[in-house]
Amino acid sequence: MVELASEKQAYDIVLVDVREATDFADYFVIMTAESPRQMRALIEDVQDAMRAVDIRAHHMEGTHLSGWVLIDFGDVVVHVLGPEEREFYDLERVWPKAVEMVRLQ
């Protein structure tokens, strides 16, 4: 997922192990999209990549126009945010027991 996000020009991509921080997911993938158009493309590409390995989203919140999207794949939750939303929500700091595993600027 991190590689896909990077290939699709997302930035500040982070893979976070949240197993010690929460019981509803194992990993978060957090990425920033520069525009609503790029966010929509990232969402579609993430869903397509997961479908290719027979994994479907359980739930999705937000839209590319809202500046944030959460896609819940069960063990993995993907967060796609616009730059302002990324700074405002600061998801990496919300989960202090989470462990950053990978970060691509």
**3 state DSSP class of 46:** helix
User: Looking at the predicted structure, is the pLDDT value of residue 12 above 90?
Assistant: yes
The reported pTM is 0.94
d(CA 94, CA 102): 17
- On average, the pLDDT of the chain sits at 94
Average confidence (pLDDT) over 2-25: 92
Quick one: CATH architecture of 2-104? 2-Layer Sandwich (3.30)
Lowest model confidence (mean pLDDT) among 7-16, 66-75, 91-100: 91-100
Average confidence (pLDDT) over 17-45: 95
Strand partners, 91: none
The pLDDT assigned to 96 comes to 84
Asked if residues 5 and 31 have their Cβ atoms less than 8 Å apart, the reply is yes
DSSP 20-42: TT-SS-SEEEEEE-SSHHHHHHH
User: Looking at the predicted structure, is the pLDDT value of residue 99 above 90?
Assistant: yes
Asked if residues 98 and 21 have their Cβ atoms less than 8 Å apart, the reply is yes
- Residues of the chain with pLDDT > 90: what percent? 86
